[in-house]
């Protein structure tokens, strides 16, 4: 019985060390810019999908989506209105997407100095905006701290 309790205590303490850190980005809805607020992290990719607001949930329109992915030097700040050659776009026209009423975002941030198998090397940050959203908002990934 003692061995089982000891094992459970060890697992409990281990789970505190396994939990990945939270990472933050700032989204300026007026300027359509993303800025990574976590030191050493850069934007690897952004997935944008139009959605329809339902009662208590959202329904994504998968045919109206864009994937922006890194093809060169990673950046901490990205302006969606004027992307550099370091990022490629796949999907519908970006300018038309930015005019949509409701957009769901999935932003992947990465720290290139950490090993790929390190749980803190990257994070996904999910959030939604609508046409009434104004100004800057800070979004964060799931994790601890």
The 3-state secondary structure of the chain reads: CHHHHHHHHHHHHHHHHHCCECCEEEEECCCCEEEECCCCCEEEEEEEEEEEEECCEEEEEEEEEEEEEECCCCECEEECCCCCCCEEEEECCHHHHHCCCEEEEEEEEECCCCCCCCCCCEEEEEEEEECCCCCEEEEECCCEC
Rg from Cα positions in the chain: 18
Q: Give the integer Cα–Cα distance in Å for 13 and 104.
A: 35
Compute the half-sphere exposure of residue 41: CA atoms within 13 Å on the CB side of its CA. 26
- Reported as a single tens digit per residue, the pLDDT across 2-18 is 666 655 555 555 544 55
Q: What is the mean pLDDT of the chain?
A: 82
pLDDT at 6: 54
pLDDT at 44: 92
Quick one: pLDDT band at residue 27, thresholds 50, 70, 90? very high
pLDDT at 143 over 70: no
Average pLDDT on 36-63 reads 88
pLDDT at 20 over 90: no
pLDDT at 122 over 70: yes
């Amino acid at each position: 019985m003692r061995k089982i309790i000891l094992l459970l205590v060890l697992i409990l303490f281990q789970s505190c060390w396994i939990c990945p850190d939270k990472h933050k980005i700032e989204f300026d809805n007026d300027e359509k810019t993303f800025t990574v607020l976590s030191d050493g992290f850069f934007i690897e990719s952004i997935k944008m999908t139009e959605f329809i607001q339902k009662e208590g949930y959202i329904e994504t329109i998968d045919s109206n989506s864009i994937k922006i992915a890194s093809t060169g030097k990673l950046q901490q700040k990205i302006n969606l209105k004027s992307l550099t050659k370091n990022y490629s776009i796949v999907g519908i026209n970006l300018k038309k997407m930015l005019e949509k009423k409701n957009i769901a975002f999935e932003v992947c941030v990465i720290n290139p100095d950490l090993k790929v198998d390190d749980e803190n090397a990257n994070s996904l940050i999910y959030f939604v905006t609508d046409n009434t959203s104004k100004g800057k908002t800070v979004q964060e990934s799931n994790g601890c701290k």
